[in-house]
Amino acid sequence: MKTLYVVSRTPFLRKEFKTNIALADSGDAVVFIQDGVLVATRIPEDMENLIENAKNKGVKFYLLKEDLEARGLKKNWMEVVDYEGFLELLLEYERAVN
């Protein structure tokens, strides 16, 4: 089942979504929204291997454009989607986990 993992909290203070990234598999995706987009500044050290492993499995990663802009951040290697793109992701995946 294709799953979209939605990360809305800062990766520097909240770590509960590490399990979701570890569980993500081929065909799944992770989208960082709200304070989750702080991952664009740098990836926390304890998440680097998890993200690299997920990327190697074919997991896609996204950042929400409007939340990046609201925080004055620039994108990193992840694809950027706007609100419309986020809604399209929600419709594309069979389930969403927050």
Number of domains in the chain: 1
SS (H, E, C) 60-78: EEEEEHHHHHHCCCCCCCC
Handedness of CA 73, 65, 89, 7 (dihedral sign): positive
Instruction: Identify the pLDDT of residue 19.
Output: 85
Q: What is the pLDDT along the chain (98 residues), one digit of tens a residue?
A: 799 999 998 877 767 778 888 889 999 999 999 999 998 888 888 888 999 999 999 999 999 999 999 999 998 899 999 999 999 999 999 999 98
CATH code at position 61? 3.40.1260.10
Record the pTM.
0.91
Q: What are phi and psi of 49, to 5 degrees?
A: -65, -40
H-run or E-run covering 50:
helix 45-57
Instruction: Identify the pLDDT of residue 29.
Output: 97
Domain around 41: 3-97
